[in-house]
Chains A and B, each alone.
Chain A
Amino acid sequence: MAHQTDFTKKKECEVKALPLEEKKRMVKDGEAHWFFPRHVAEQVIICGALLMILITISTIFPAHLGEKADPFNTPDHIKPEWYFLAAYYTLRVAEYTEFLGAWAPKIMGIVMQGVAVTLLLLVPFIDRGGKERRPSKRPIAMAAGAAAAITFIAFTLLGHYV
């Protein structure tokens, strides 16, 4: 369909500069929606639904306030919040590097965390496999992503239960 404006390959400033007649045609042909009122209405509905979910959860499960901190009383089990469990378990895994020397466990723990964050930051520069975006045509990237996700979830569960 050569006559169509390739909307998705244009920068916002280029889309903005399209003639009004062209924009009207794109809305008519189903390639785009008007920002107002259609898109704004969708956003308002999504945000409203989300706020209702938050209010519902907060009402059914009120935020917990634990006992006051006591610096002289160390609890038996110190566990971080769920989103830090994987990082916490990494420190436990690092204890197995003790065969390298007494220095290893502490340093390897923070090294492993640092490497994980650096790899995540550099994803676009590690995966330079052309412009192909369909998941089925990117088996290596998908496998690496799945492995990373499974490791994170496994570490989170192990951090919680072990």
Chain B
Amino acid sequence: MDMDTLELGPFKVKNKLVIRMFSALDDRLGVKEILDDEVFEKIAPAHLGFWSCFGGISFFLFICQIVTGILLMIYYQPTISQAHASVGRIMNEAPFGWLIRGIHAWGSNLMLITIAVHMTKIFVSGIYKAPRELNWVVGVILLLLTLGLSFTGYLLPWTQLAYWATVVGTETPAAIPYIGEYIRFAMRGGDEIGQVTLTRFFAIHVMVLPVITAATVLLHLLQIRRQGISGPL
């Protein structure tokens, strides 16, 4: 690239240094082509309205959960003697800890609501029909992963309500014939809910489920990209 003006969509760059650096990058990685295709010469459908936002909103809330979750991990201690006290310190002593935990707690509730609205919109507009059947299936899997994140995250502050809700919640799969007892044992890490349960729920909540959910979100988005946005009714 050898020129006086670099044109990137609405931007016209004349700075020699910027142009030389951009050219060097473009010669090696073909940056201009990507930027034009994905940003500056890209178009979005004009028919998308209020109800079409909720998938994207759920995605944004997921990002917020990752960011606030990482911040909470800085002070949280996953032991049955310290968990409750450490969340108390997050609320009362850590700078803006009350806000970070508030966004994380309210965000998880809001995320389930926005997912429900998103699914209702998809159902009412018949968007799950061919060729988007598998988008619906992956979407339901994302809902189940979100519920799994809520269930495991709820125990972490080690409160009385969470403890006993988890007693009931881990008891339910025990009713499955033959394998139920093993599932309960695996979820609790023993017969009782204790330190091993908290360690397991912590690992699943901060590592296992977030990674699986992020990969599934990526799949959900790739499906949309391959098929394009569905048309108006």
Contacts and interface: CB of A to CB of B under 8 A. Distances in A.
B228 A79 contact: no
Contact of A59 (B99, B128, B172, B192): B99
A83 B99 contact: no
Contacts, number: 214
Contact of A71 (B141, B163, B174, B232): B163
A10 B228 contact: yes
B43 A32 contact: yes
Interface in B94-149: 98-99, 101-107, 109-110, 112, 120, 123-130, 132-133, 136-137, 140-141, 144, 147
Contact of B102 (A10, A58, A145): A58
Interface residues of B, number: 87
A37 interface: yes
Interface stretch (B21-29, B52-60, B201-209): B52-60
Given A55-B99, A58-B103, A8 B144 contact: no
Contacts of B174: 106
B174 to A, nearest CB: 8
A91 B173 CA distance: 11
Given A8-B231, A133-B233, A47 B60 contact: yes
A62 to B, nearest CB: 6
Contacts of B104: 63
B9 interface: yes
Interface of B: 9-10, 37, 39-47, 53, 56-57, 60-61, 64, 80, 84, 87-88, 91, 98-99, 101-107, 109-110, 112, 120, 123-130, 132-133, 136-137, 140-141, 144, 147, 150-151, 154, 157-165, 167-169, 172-177, 180, 192-194, 224-233
